[in-house]
Structure 1
Amino acid sequence: MENNVSRAAYFLVYFVLATAAIYLDRKILWLSSAIGFTVITVLPYLHHSHLPLESKNYSTIYLLFMLVNIMLSFQLSISKKLSENIISAQKETENLLHQNLKIKKTI
Structure 2
Amino acid sequence: MASGLWTTPTDLAILVIELMNSLKGKSKIGLSENKAKELITSQGCKEWTGLGVFLDGSGEKIEIFSLGWGIGFQCMLVAYPYLEIGVVIMTNTDLGVHQMKGIIGEIFASLTM
Q: How does the TM-score come out when normalised to structure 2?
A: 0.30
| TM-score in terms of structure 1 length | 0.31
Larger strand fraction of residues: 2
Larger radius of gyration: 1
More helix, by proportion: 1
